Amino acid sequence: MSQVSEPAPQATQYGQTPPPTRLDYTLQASDLIEVQVFQEDDLTRDVRLSQEYTVTLPLIGTVNLKGKTVRQACDLIRDLYNKDYLVNPQVSIIVKEYAARTVNVLGAVNLAGAVSFPPEQPMYLLDAIAKAGGFSRLADRTKVKLTRAESDGKVDAYIIDADDIIQGKSKETWPLQKDDTIYVPERLF
């Protein structure tokens, strides 16, 4: 469960930009959130974001939270209550349950299958492969394929030399997105 206050972000693995703070977490369909209005207990609700990224709240009705961070959602809901119903309301949002985020790791790894990762932390290509038991002894680590469906429906595929990343020859760490697929082919002898 995540609350709105957050300590300063720490440096991350691979020298990348720190992960977003909980306030900067972008709400996802199926997240369960608690919306609280200070000193208005009858307005407090646990609501799950619909597949259209909407929630329904007392007095203000349906609110579209698509693309909104926790902070932006608090501001939007506060403004809606402030507009017609309350004077300077204090709104907070707690993410009580995050929508599942997984990537699929297939091919020449020791534990092929879906790998889950926390929504507030990035996962990189090598992290997912490690969570899938690492490369098998027959893996061709120079031709790892990453397939990603973009929001516009376009599918992109990338061939990645994981050995270059492991040896520090490449600075690209390949941050993953929900529902990416990683395929590790076998070496040809």
pLDDT digits (tens, 9 = 90+) for 43-84: 999 999 998 999 999 999 999 999 899 999 999 999 999 998
Looking at the structure, do residues 24 and 42 belong to the same domain, yes or no?
Answer: yes
Gyration radius from the chain CA atoms:
20
Considering the domain architecture, whether residues 65 and 117 belong to the same structural domain is answered as no
Query: How many other CB atoms are found less than 10 A from the CB of residue 174?
Result: 20
Is the pLDDT assigned to residue 111 strictly greater than 60? yes
CA pair distance 73, 71, nearest whole angstrom: 5
**Single residue among 31, 62, 97 that ends a domain in this structure:** 97
Q: Are residues 177 and 163 in the same domain?
A: yes
Question: Do both 93 and 106 map to the same domain?
Answer: no
Show the domain range for 158: 102-184
Domain limit, last residue, from 64, 97, 130: 97
Assess if residue 127 is contained within a domain.
yes
Q: What is the pTM of this model?
A: 0.62
Helix (H, G, I), strand (E, B) or coil at 129: helix
State how many domains the chain has: 2
- In tens, the pLDDT along 132-165 reads 999 999 999 999 999 998 877 889 999 999 999 9
Judged by DSSP in three states, 34 sits in strand
* Boundary residue ending a domain (97, 128, 146): 97
Mean of per-residue pLDDT scores for the chain: 85
Tell me how many degrees the CA angle 53-54-58 measures, rounded to the nearest 5.
155
